[in-house]
Amino acid sequence: MRSRHFLATLALTLTAVLSAPAAHAQGAGGEWVSYRDAYRAMVRFEKYGGPKNLLVNALQVVPTGNGALGEGAQLTLSGKTVQLNLPLDALGRTVFPLQKAAYDENAALTLNRKGIAFTVRPQVALVSRADGQYDAAELRAACAQALGYARWLDPAQGARGCAGVRFMYARKLEAGVRLRHAEGAEQVLPVVEEGSGAAVVYRFGASAERAQVVTANGPVAILPLIE
């Protein structure tokens, strides 16, 4: 489906500053990625000593040429003693397993999509809430944590600031996000449709806002908007 390709591309554009260098696929046609290379990229988030309790770091698969991941895409981690399937979400992301055996064996990460060259890279997002309700102040704080990490990765990002957050959905019909003001009034935030995917942007106001952002359905991811 085009939604995976669109959302992966959009997420990459929005959060490139938050990513360590990508681990590139190797072999004929770029068919596999070294676990050690992916590990070195992912572990930078673990080593970061700043506030990050409102953030989550995932491994993202990004096709490097034509072709989309489609439904049912997954990575397989294969080594001498390690065999693990890692399903991908609609952004092409998965939880990355930190395993000593996989590192020692330099296990291979392969994609169950023949003919698609790819890279893998970290992607930092905001922690999602099960109840779908987000205080505006907490979203600001989470974006500030993401910006702090971005500046740690690249001090040249010091001039950038937090503009808001983006709620990412695989399909437009799933995207329902409302802004609930302190006095109780609500407004529906507009949905931006691109291909088969969708995003809802909540931009921070000039001053701290006593409000909540309420989602009707859980987003695939919530990405910081740093400009």
The pLDDT of residue 71 is: 83
- CB contact at 8 A, 70 and 7: no
User: Are 80 and 182 found together in one domain?
Assistant: no
Q: 69: how many CB neighbours lie within 10 A of its CB? A: 25
Task: Compute, in degrees rounded to 10, the torsion defined by CA atoms 193, 203, 151, 141.
Answer: -120
What pLDDT shows up at residue 208? 60
pLDDT at 26: 61
Q: Phi first, then psi: what are they for 135, rounded to 5°?
A: -65, 140
Give the mean pLDDT per block of 10 residues along the chain (227 residues): 41 46 57 92 94 97 81 93 94 94 95 87 95 96 96 86 95 93 90 83 80 95 94
Residue 78 sits in the same domain as residue 45: yes
Residue range of the domain that includes 74: 2-125
Residue 1 has a pLDDT of 40
Residues 183 and 138 in one domain: yes
State the pLDDT at residue 20. Answer: 55
- Check whether residue 135 and residue 214 sit in a common domain: yes
DSSP H or E segment with residue 121: strand 118-126
Instruction: Say yes or no: 17 and 45 in one domain.
Output: yes
- Looking at the structure of the chain, the number of domains it has is 2
Same domain, yes or no: 44 and 155: no
pLDDT at 83: 95
According to the model, what pLDDT value does residue 21 have?
A: 57
SS3 content of the chain, % helix, strand, coil (to 5): 25, 35, 35
Cα gap 75→59, rounded to integer Å: 10
Strands 177-181 and 186-188: antiparallel
Residue that is last in its domain, among 106, 125, 144 = 125
The set of residues, in sequence order, having a beta carbon less than 8 Å from that of 144 and lying 6+ positions away, is 162
Enumerate helices (H) and strands (E) in the chain, giving the number of each: 4, 16
pTM above 0.75, yes or no: yes
Q: Are residues 119 and 196 in the same domain?
A: no
Q: Are residues 79 and 64 in the same domain?
A: yes
3-state secondary structure 151-191: HHHCHHHHHCCEEEEEEEECCHHHCCEEEEECCCCEEECCE
